[in-house]
Structure 1
Amino acid sequence: MLIKGEYVDIKGSKIHYLELGRDDTQDLVMLLHGKRYTAYDWVNSGIAENLANKGFKVICLELPGYGASEESELEKEEVLFEFASKLNLAPFHLVGPSFSGEISLRFALKHSNMLKSLTVVDSINVDLYKERLKDIKVKTLIVWGKQDNIAPYEFAEMLKENIPGSSLYVFEDSGHTCYFDNAKKFSKVLGDFFRE
């Protein structure tokens, strides 16, 4: 499958992203990455291609200071806002694991009109947003590895209890990288959720 590497200038910073899948669809999935990873990990795991094969257009964005993306003075959720605005993206499905789960929560709180859905995977720092989670008004999936020793399972329960109408999917035997440990299953869970 053809994977295009592209750059976009966001307020003077070159931001790198990978793009694959159909160009003739408005069904777009934006994959952010965890702190130890880059856009290429979505490709290497097979998840990006699995989603593209289900008919989605997939963008794997490298956050400022990661991979081939330059640092930016903007908050990371604002880089995402500028990126989506510059590319004139239709509302998209946003997937954020670990530290980008927190970025995704902040983005959903500020720019929910730009989202078709939100998927939060083993996010850090959920407790910092507990009082505001009820204000997330977008279709939300929570995915968690129950054995996570970085972002405790209590965070998954907190998200489920406080985000209206949210769904929770648990990998009982996995930890913080449940989505890579079970890439095929994770891809199916996402695809099914997006099409609900």
Structure 2
Amino acid sequence: MVIKGEYVNIKGSKIYYLEIDKESSKDTVILLHGKRYNAYDWINSGIAESLSNEGCKVICLEFPGYGSSEECDLEKEEVLLEFAKSLNISSFHVVAPSFSGEISIRFALKYGNMLKSLTIVDSINVDKYKEKLNEIYVKTLIVWGRKDKIAPYEFAEILKNNIKNSTLFVFENLGHTCYFDDAKKFSEVLINFIRA
């Protein structure tokens, strides 16, 4: 597995990402991160490698002000848009835990036509978007730890009940970082969803 660390310039800010490239891949998966994490956590957890082994091109993006990325004035969903444009990625799968889950909801509402699929994991602030979630038509996987004390399980139900083309997977005994706490199972569920 060859991991490249690169910077891309977005509106004058250097934005950092890791890439595990599969030249023959038809699928690009962009992994976003929670507030306490960065691109390398996807590598260290083995999730990025699992996706790569399935033939996906995997990109781990660090949002402005996190990890090695510089601050940037753009809204974070616009950063994701500009990032995809700068790498000539016209459509992709996105995986978005915690605070990036909220960013991915905003992205799906604005630019859903660019998404092959959306995976929302223990997202914060879901209740803010309840009235708009029915405008998301992209295939969506909702993953939640039922014992989450940061983003309550009712958020998962709001997503499931309002996003038409959605599937819910629950880690019954895990909390907010369920995707890292059982990275093997999460990878398996994610890969099956992307491939379906």
TM range (shorter): over 0.9
TM-score, structure 2 normalization: 0.99
Are 1:23 and 2:23 matched, yes or no? yes
- 1:59-103 deviation per Cα after TM superposition (whole angstroms, max 9, x unaligned): 000000000000000000000000001111031110000000000
After the TM superposition, list the runs of 4 or more consecutive aligned residues in structure 1 that deviate by more than 4 angstroms.
none
Partner of 1:94: 94
Distance (Å, rounded) in 2 between the aligned partners of 1:79 and 1:23: 25
Q: Which amino acid aligns with 1:105?
A: I
After TM superposition, the score normalised by the length of structure 1 is 0.99
Aligned partner of 1:117 in structure 2 is 117
Count of equivalent residues:
196
C-alpha deviation, 1:24, in angstroms: 1.9
Unaligned stretches of 5+ in structure 2? none
Cα shift at 1:26: 2.2
Q: Could you list the runs of 5+ residues in structure 1 that have no partner in the other structure?
A: none
The amino acid of 2:158's aligned partner reads M
Q: Deviations over 1:103-136 (max 9, x none)?
A: 0000000001110000000000000000000000
Q: Which residue is equivalent to 1:35?
A: 35
Measured after TM superposition, the shift of residue 21 of structure 1 is: 3.7
- Please report the RMSD computed on the Cα atoms of aligned residues, expressed in angstroms: 0.6
Kindly, what percent of the aligned residue pairs are identical? 71
Indicate yes or no: 2:144 matched with 1:144.
yes
Classify the secondary structure of the residue corresponding to 1:131: coil
SS of structure 2 residue aligned to 1:70: coil
